[in-house]
Structure 1
């Protein structure tokens, strides 16, 4: 579809101008809003993701308390008891799927998100551009956006040799910046992080740093910072 610009036309009454829609874009047309999903994918490909250690990288970690569940009861429960109950049901599904070694993809996310959003059916992939951070970030959409998300999430299995904590951070940020759902994407991203760890027998006593921070799609330091936060919680556990 061709661009349009407003052109002034003089009417019969002096001093009165009516703006008409013309077919050509003018020199002062605003530039298209940047696509922060594409910016994230560029950053994602350039980040020096930490590689897995030679030993001990996949040892089970069993905490003395359930940090994820405790945080949901405190953080989500303070916002709404119903929200916390939905998140706890989703957390149960996350751990059941991790125990059976399910691959991480959008279909798996949808199953959890049904509990998160308390919808009768698993919610669909968004059908239009999404916005976050008060509109400062815009995430575009194309016919292959969902397939690209699945390709990214498939890397959480570790075939590329990236360390577990970095894979958990990367999957979390993939969901943040693909923004697949109309609502609840931060909760979905957190659950995916828990899932990536749980699939390898790892759980955390505390997750405080992981739900109280926000990252920019175009910040190359953000992914490494989140990976360090996960590693810090893991060492504490």
Structure 2
């Protein structure tokens, strides 16, 4: 969608009307695709930020300009009228300056491909083992407790959706379900509170203020499914559970399959991989308060260590409930 409007930031003074028309058309395309449902304006901001970044505006600057142009003028379940759309598009175009760019207008790096290269090089077999083998039942439900405390503080409806997804994934784990996009999609419908399972994204995705870009191709979903399938325990090719759970989490992060809620989806995938082998944690704080880089191998190793810390502590506490 953003590639339909090739523009040049250096020529902004002569092209300003073209930038305005492009922004207007993108807003209207988002309203048409989302139906102006819950949180549609967040996706609209994301698309406008992608658009500016794609044509040379520095990612942080792009996000700032979009935030300033949109402000609080878009609302869930409300489609903006023509006057408002035109006003936002005009303000965005008028705010652009030739020196807003620090990158060329050429294709940006694909951090999904960078992640897949890192993924192949990480020494997953050397990951710590979580303090032992076999199932473990914690004295408290760390995942549910964290959702109630963290997500509940942000939005009670968000917490309810996450808890519903948590119950569903544990039922799926008990039945030995295979982890793939379709399974994530079922949980994500509860996470986002959408009337239908959210589809796989059809555009490049951005994260970390636009600093990471995840490409899209006709085989992206199939590649994600192939990666997630490796989270299962396999005879003759046993990787530590901590490694398989961490890898699934990062796969979801960097494939970035949904337009929204990918961090929550990644966390649920991690919990599922553990639950499928009868493991639950009594704490998850290290797994939800950190950010990982797609092209940094050490980050993958760090995540396996964080899972190991929580798992080993859960085993100790389970063995000594009085403590």
TM value normalised by structure 2: 0.64
- Find 1:209's aligned residue among 283, 286, 299: 286
Equivalent position of 2:185 in the other structure: 110
Where do 1:121-132 residues align within 5 Å? 121-132=196-207
Find out whether 1:33 has 2:102 as its counterpart: no
Q: Please report the RMSD computed on the Cα atoms of aligned residues, expressed in angstroms.
A: 2.4
SS in 1 for 2:206: strand
SS at match of 1:194: helix
1:231 corresponds to 2:318: no
* 4+ long deviations beyond 4 Å: 51-54
Is the partner of 1:102 in helix, strand or coil? coil
In 2: Cα distance, 1:127 partner to 1:18 partner: 31
User: Could you tell me which residue of structure 2 aligns to residue 47 of structure 1?
Assistant: 122
**Alignment-derived partner of residue 150 in structure 1:** 225
Partner of 1:11: none
What is the total number of aligned residue pairs between the two structures?
219
From 61, 65, 68, the counterpart of 2:143: 68
- Partner SS for 1:157: coil
Q: CA deviation at 1:209?
A: 0.2
Which of 176, 185, 195 is matched with 1:101 structurally? 176
Q: Measure, in 1, the Cα distance between the counterparts of 2:278 and 2:14.
A: 68
Aligned to 2:134: 59
Of residues 207, 210, 218, the one that matches 1:135 is 210
Q: How does 1:4-19 map to 2 (within 5 A)?
A: none
Secondary structure at the aligned position of 1:177 is classed as helix
Displacement after TM superposition at 1:179 (Å): 0.2
Q: Distance in 2 between matches of 1:52 and 1:187?
A: 23
Secondary structure, aligned partner of 1:107:
helix
Q: Is the 8 A contact 1:52 1:161 kept in 2?
A: no
Is the contact between residue 5 and residue 29 of structure 1 (CA under 8 Å) also seen in structure 2? no
Q: Give CA-to-partner distance per residue, 1:8-55, whole Å, 9 cap, x none.
A: xxxxxxxxx967x9xxxxxx953321000000000000000035899x
1 CA distance for matches of 2:128 and 2:114? 29
Which residue matches 2:154? 79
* Separation in 2, partners of 1:106, 1:186: 15
Q: Kindly indicate which of the two structures has a greater share of residues assigned to strand.
A: 1
Secondary structure, in 3 states, of the residue corresponding to 1:222?
Answer: helix
- Residue 132 of structure 2 contacts residue 312 of structure 2 at CA under 8 Å; is this kept in 1? no
Kindly indicate whether the alpha-carbon contact (under 8 Å) linking 1:57 and 1:164 is maintained by their aligned counterparts in 2.
Answer: no
Q: Which residue of 1 aligns with 2:272?
A: 195
Per-residue CA distance 1:192-227 (angstroms, 9 max, x = gap): 000000000000000000000000000010111000
Q: With a CA cutoff of 8 Å and minimum separation of 6, indicate the structure with the bigger relative contact order.
A: 1
Structure 1 counterpart of 2:296: 219
Deviation, structure 1 residue 158: 2.6
Gaps of 5+ in 2: 19-102, 315-323
**Aligned counterparts of 2:115 and 2:194: Cα–Cα separation in 1:** 29
Question: Judging changes above 3 Å, is the alpha-carbon distance between structure 1 residues 161 and 29 closer, same or farther for their aligned structure 2 residues?
Answer: same
Q: Is the 8 A contact 2:191 2:261 kept in 1?
A: yes
